[in-house]
Structure 1
């Protein structure tokens, strides 16, 4: 052993600098409770406002129902009866309930927007006048302005305890920033000039030091402003998939309008002419009212679920694309691996004791404050070694790790004048250090180091120069540690039909080893921006949709090319502008959640469309016999539900049609639970659950309503 091992904690001088205590978490509130009386009152009021013709014109199905309601009301006035008034009122309630679904979805967004606005207080910004790069900002002249007065390329000084007034890039200094008001995460993060961690968001708080921020956003166009507009639904645009579904619903509505219009002359010829009230009731039950009422709510709720996960969506198309992604590109570092290499094993050379190697490795790593160096100290602790205090060592002189030397170590001098020097570092540098002192490196060191590299790890050599001369003691095996559960997540994606590709700057051997351990389908090693772009274009040329995550300027071209480009909020402005989504938590693995949410949105829409179409079947069995059984008694056999009378049958169908919209609002907002499966399995499940459910439930529901309706005066 090179020192007496004293089992105490390492000295403070070798600890990483302490960070400010984490502030209490200030997470944004979750989804609004729709059943809260106050919120429900607001939603009902908003649904009444949506009765305006301009609002209804955007939803063809509801427009037809509203027109039908308008026609039945004068008819009920001209020919008053319990049946006519009942049908008229429930038709209006159908429109109101449909608007309520959209109002509830938007209300959730407004509540979140209100909490976001609290982060947009009227902060006083210190704008620097005539400041130039490299100058001391504390000596520059400042002007106190409001955030609304700041323009792009203005420079502002933000000191400890102050709020960042606008989105921008740090161009001078470094500081710990509390982003909990925006991201909900309580741990402070480092923001510094240069590199890929220079982006700051307006509304966050500087905890230490001072930074100069170059404003990049125009007033009213910051990420928080865009997020507020997004969650309020003001900037939500229909996606191609939603537009196609709207066209289908409009076409079905037009077809059934023609059917009902041509039905009346035929009914008159048969001596079974129908009133306006009955014809409108038939039309409303024929057209896909349920999905038409819930379509907007499904789209808004899908984006709301992304907002709840702190993802800012720049394009509604990206949400749809996320649901259809077939290729997923992920960075290795921080996404698939923990982000820092960890020491996992000590391999002593022949004749060297494991404990002696661990002791030397720990001592040589005390001055290495990198995550890799700390992991060496942690691994040595498993051998019962605790890092000593500085005063417990014999006149130590620490050699700090630098990128230039790629080594760290310590020189010890004992009271008799003798001593030793210990070094740990990259194989080439340590080998040169030993040879410069007249020593030689055993061939096993090179062979075993190569084996570590081939396995995907990084070898470090540990050497000592003492009374026995300079020599290598052994090897430290560093490896990228794959995150727990990542392999299972990739297996889920594979079951979804999504191909995963790991992108890394590592050499092909290391990349191959990590890819096999993580379970990705393919990898791109030594990737350049051009390589990423070429890969995305190849996938898209094959008709595939591609999703990618990135945070650096070098990722910007690929983020812009990808169908779903998720930029990290900690990244550069170029990356955030290039992507069509921004993850405010800067968690690259969230790309997997985004894909799942996109698929959930599409599946929810498909499930409720299936339910809407199949649940019309029961309504036909209720209304058609009621309309024509008098003229054609044989049709009475179709009254399989045994409904009480023609009036109660028609009324029951209309009441059920309205109530089912209310019943499905929670499902539209929450979304259908998504489980990884093939398209065939999903279709089979939709038909079995929502198709069969949409077929059976109305038979039961209409019959129950009929039992109640038949007891009312005028329906007996």
Structure 2
């Protein structure tokens, strides 16, 4: 059998949705960001703002106490000795200043992370300006509320309450979050999504939600307000991108508790040192003890922990994903099961004509010509793709003058064209075409349609019924149909194979997810045969065919009962239960308000494939936190070698063997360690904001890499840094 196939399975106008994931956010740290963040960092020196960070609160207390000692020293006879060795006069002031800088640098890290959302928040605030809204006085769902005659009253958008009905016309701002209950319109959402192209919003579907502050460009719509004043989607976005309402995640809270516990242990250790030293007739000065305590406790990760969490949410915002909580970002990093809708996520969603399959004795070109002729007035993407397939094979058709278009309906399940001479062309479902022609089952046709369905495609049967006075050449300028077709009620010419094309690169991305230990499940309403074919082509691990909302919910619960974390996307009200049940529920911004309320993330671009990128960002957050925690704990080792020998070398000369860095003096050793402890925070701020680059690997491989790079690096870097600082300090008179 001769086939005509499309030259390429992928339409040229379709783009790889994964490309957006490769775009990196703007520069993480520079003078501009530092200048903007400094005022906020100074305000955070208030101890009340440090209560949530016990490590830095302890450093603040040490800095304040050391400052008091530095002020009191002239009245107490100068600085105290340390381990029997005199310290220079500026020593205490130097320790106090660098302790304050340690706290300040930690605040700068958090302020810079928060400041990265200021620009977006500023643009969002412009959409919150109070506008006048036309509130419908008595709304009648059965009447045409979009008409000019509807009784309305002008009120401020700030006065609107939940369930109020408003009319918005072309050129007007939508006064609040809501759902369209009547009408259809194009809406400019660039203030929210950053995309300049307008979008279609209409009632009665999964694209009925609208956001306050966006502008209607055409037509008139009736909107039911779904938010309270001050609690709109934009208000929540502003708070989240600025970090003002960021909730600490369970892992972050647990790490804070661990850091606080370590700090308490080291406080006890340091408090016990002075009695031991006094017993050896070599008391240690209080500034040195405070410096030792600050160097022992994990100040590096304590200073950067909040910035890491804020930056993780910011990376999502950079990709137009709004996380309702840090918990959702963190959970995304631990996801083990990914549920993906087929249409629009795994496939492009618009079925394309892939090939034509003629019945025996029918010329493939004639089948393609008739199919294209029937599709000239078809506005659907499928119809346009049939015309495009014909054109790609050099077949050009024009709609005959006086032809009558027969639109597709759910009842007939066919569409086509009635020619002026009475000839009728139809394309549609096989059973509908057979019933239209009055034909019994055709074994050859059944074989073709079943073959298309089993490959994951949709069969579209093409048939023609000639009028009594029609000539066989009325359909074609190149050849006639069979004489049998002209003499009978009609003839089935063949099948057009419509293929729901799998997006480019998805197989590789699913393979990448598999290497992360993530299982992918495709959810579709297709029959099992079609679902299996698409799943095989896309490379997913499993699929759920003919899925209902109840089955989606049951699948998620079953996965969670096995100890797995589940992520899924959705946009309809029927997806709301599953979105709420999933550990990571990503609702589309184009979806219903119920879906957006149920999910813990909202994708402003409404791109379901972004779920894959969300998982990567979550994993990057966890890896960054783990890497910097490893570095922070490892670099304490070098500080021990710097300070402990310096404290007791005067009394126990044998400890000089531990002074492997050959530091100049006890005072310079302590000062060098405390300076390095402060400035290392500044050097790590860009890494905390940008995040450690994620590479797909198992948990054991990631741990090995962290220990090798950040563990070993955390040990080596302080030895080099403290030694270089000591060399500089020795140039200062008195040291």
Q: Please state if 1:97 is matched with 2:105.
A: yes
Structure 1 position 559 matched with structure 2 position 579: yes
Residue equivalent to 1:239: 249
- Separation of aligned partners in 2, 1:112 and 1:650: 44
- Secondary structure, aligned partner of 1:677: coil
Aligned length: 677
TM-score (normalised: structure 2): 0.90
Of 51-60 and 240-249, more deviation after overlay is shown by 51-60
* Aligned residue in 1 for 2:444: 444
Q: Do the aligned residues in 1 keep the contact of 2:29 with 2:685 (CA within 8 Å)?
A: no
Written as runs of structure 1 = structure 2, the 5 A alignment for 1:184-583 is 184-388=194-398, 390=399, 393=400, 395-413=402-420, 420-435=423-438, 442-466=442-466, 467-469=486-488, 470-583=490-603
Q: Distance in 2 between matches of 1:190 and 1:41?
A: 42
Alpha-carbon distance between aligned partners in 2 of 1:106 and 1:442, rounded to the nearest angstrom:
68
**2:641 is equivalent to residue 646 of structure 1:** no
Cα distance in 2, alignment partners of residues 455 and 136 from structure 1: 46
Distance in 2 of aligned mates of 1:602 and 1:238: 13
Q: 1:125 aligns with which of 130, 133, 158?
A: 133
SS at match of 2:712: helix
Provide the residue aligned with 1:688 in structure 2. Answer: 708
Deviation at 1:700, TM superposition (A): 0.8
Deviates further, 214-223 or 629-638: 629-638
Deviations 1:33-70 (A, max 9, x none): 74344x53342221121111211221111111111111
- Is the Cα contact below 8 Å between 1:434 and 1:440 reproduced in 2? no
Write the distance in 1 (CA, Å) between the matches of 2:256 and 2:567. 26
Q: CA deviation at 1:252?
A: 0.3
Q: CA deviation at 1:419?
A: 5.3
- Could you tell me how far apart the structure 1 residues matched to 2:28 and 2:445 are? 64
CA apart distance, 1:363: 0.6
Query: Shift of residue 447 of structure 1?
Result: 1.3
Distance between the aligned counterparts of 1:652 and 1:32, measured in 2? 30
Q: Deviations over 1:320-373 (max 9, x none)?
A: 111111111111111101112211110111111111011000011123212212
Distance in 1 between residues matched to 2:412 and 2:31, nearest whole Å: 64
State the TM-score, normalized to the length of structure 1.
Answer: 0.92
Describe the superposition over 1:470-522 as per-residue Cα deviations: whole angstroms up to 9, x where unpaired: 11111111121111111111111111111111111111111111111111111
Cα distance, 1:704 vs. partner? Answer: 0.8
**Separation of aligned partners in 2, 1:347 and 1:338:** 23
Contact 1:166–1:217 (CA under 8 A) maintained in structure 2: yes
Q: 1:66 aligns with which of 31, 56, 60?
A: 60
The answer for unaligned runs of 5 or more in structure 1 is 1-28
Residues 429 and 459 in structure 2, CA contact (< 8 A), matched pair in contact too: yes
Say whether residues 1:708 and 2:728 are aligned partners: yes
Q: Which of residues 30, 51, 56 in structure 2 aligns to 1:35? A: 30
Q: Distance in 1 between matches of 2:93 and 2:263?
A: 24
**How many angstroms does 1:264 deviate by?**
0.8
> In structure 2, what is the Cα distance between the partners aligned to 1:616 and 1:387?
78
- Write out per-residue CA displacement over residues 605-646 of structure 1, whole angstroms, 9 at most, x where no aligned residue: 000000000011111111111111111111111111111111
Distance 1:243 1:281 in 2: 26
- Alpha carbons 1:536, 1:561 under 8 Å: kept: yes
CA distance in structure 2 between the aligned counterparts of 1:551 and 1:446, rounded to whole angstroms? 36
* Residues 157, 211 of structure 1: 8 Å contact kept: yes
> Which residue pairs with 1:107 in the alignment?
115
The Cα shift of 1:394 comes to 5.1
Give the gaps of 5 or more residues in structure 2.
1-23, 80-88, 467-485
| Structure 1: distance between partners of 2:464 and 2:600 | 53
Counterpart CA distance in 2 for 1:468 and 1:695 is 91
Q: How far did residue 111 of structure 1 move? A: 2.7
2:93 to 82, 85, 99: 85
Q: What are the equivalent positions in structure 2 for 1:117-196 lying under 5 Å apart?
A: 117-137=125-145, 138-196=148-206
Cα distance in 2 between the residues matched to 1:239 and 1:442: 62
Q: Report the counterpart of residue 15 of structure 1 in structure 2.
A: none
Q: CA deviation at 1:231?
A: 1.3
SS in structure 1 at match of 2:196 = coil
Mapped to 2, the partners of 1:56 and 1:207 lie a distance apart of 48
Shift of 1:572: 1.1
Q: Secondary structure at the match of 1:162?
A: coil
Root-mean-square deviation over aligned CA pairs:
1.6
| Structure 2 counterpart of 1:5 | none
Tell me the SS of whatever aligns to 1:334. coil
SS in 1 for 2:353: strand
**Deviates further, 598-607 or 576-585:** 576-585
Alpha-carbon distance, 1:403 to partner: 2.4
CA contact (8 A) 1:550 1:568 kept: yes
Conservation of the 8 A alpha-carbon contact between 2:34 and 2:108: no
Number of the residue aligned with 1:16? none
Equivalent position SS for 1:523: strand
User: Is the CA contact (8 Å cut-off) linking 2:403 and 2:418 kept in structure 1?
Assistant: yes
Structure 1 residues 54 and 515, CA gap change in structure 2 (3 angstroms): same
Residue 717 of structure 2 is matched in structure 1 by 697
Q: Distance in 2 between matches of 1:274 and 1:131?
A: 81
Q: Deviations over 1:20-44 (max 9, x none)?
A: xxxxxxxxx965874344x533422
**Equivalence for 2:686:** 666
Deviation at 1:402?
A: 2.1
Look up the match of 2:481.
none
Q: 1:188 to 1:386 in 2, by over 3 A?
A: farther
Describe the shift of the 1:703–1:450 C-alpha distance in structure 2 as closer, same or farther (beyond 3 A).
same
- Which moved further from structure 2: 281-290 or 45-54? 45-54
Structure-2 separation of matches of 1:36 and 1:264? 43
Counterpart Cα distance in 2 of 1:244 and 1:575 = 31
Offset from partner CA, 1:175-204 (integer Å, 9 cap, x none): 111111111122221111101111011111
Are the equivalent residues in 2 in contact too, given 1:169–1:199 (CA < 8 A)?
yes
For residue 205 of structure 1, report the CA deviation from its aligned partner.
1.2
Q: Deviation at 1:465?
A: 2.1
Q: Structure 2: how far apart are the matches of 1:649 and 1:112? A: 45
- Contact map agreement 2:453 2:529 (CA 8 A) in 1: yes
